[in-house]
Amino acid sequence: MYYALIKNNEIFGTSECPYTNEDIENIEISEEIFNEIEKYTYFEDEIIPDIHYEEKQKQKEQERINALSMTRSDFFDGTIKAFGADGNDLLVVIENILNTLEIDTIEKKIAINNYRNALNFYRNHSLFTLLSNIPIKISEDLTITITEEQWDKFFDETNKKNPEAYKELL
The structure's pTM equals: 0.81
pLDDT-derived band at 103, boundaries 50, 70, 90: confident
Whole-Å CA distances, 155 to 16, 18, 62, 134, 147: 40, 44, 12, 19, 13
pLDDT of residue 138: 86
Backbone region of residue 64 per phi and psi (left: phi > 0; alpha: psi in -120 to 50; beta: other values): alpha
Amino acid identity for residue 129 in this structure: T
Distance of CA 121 to the CA centre of its chain: 13
**Which residues are CB-contacts of 43 (< 8 A; sequence separation ≥ 6)?**
none
**Mean residue pLDDT across the chain:** 94
The per-residue pLDDT for range 108-163, each reduced to its tens digit, is: 899 899 999 999 999 999 888 888 998 988 888 889 999 999 999 999 999 999 99
pLDDT of residue 157: 98
With 90 as the cut, is the pLDDT of residue 75 above it?
A: yes
pLDDT-derived band at 22, boundaries 50, 70, 90: confident
With 90 as the cut, is the pLDDT of residue 6 above it?
A: yes
Percent of the chain with pLDDT over 90: 79
Q: Cα Rg for the chain, rounded, in angstroms?
A: 24
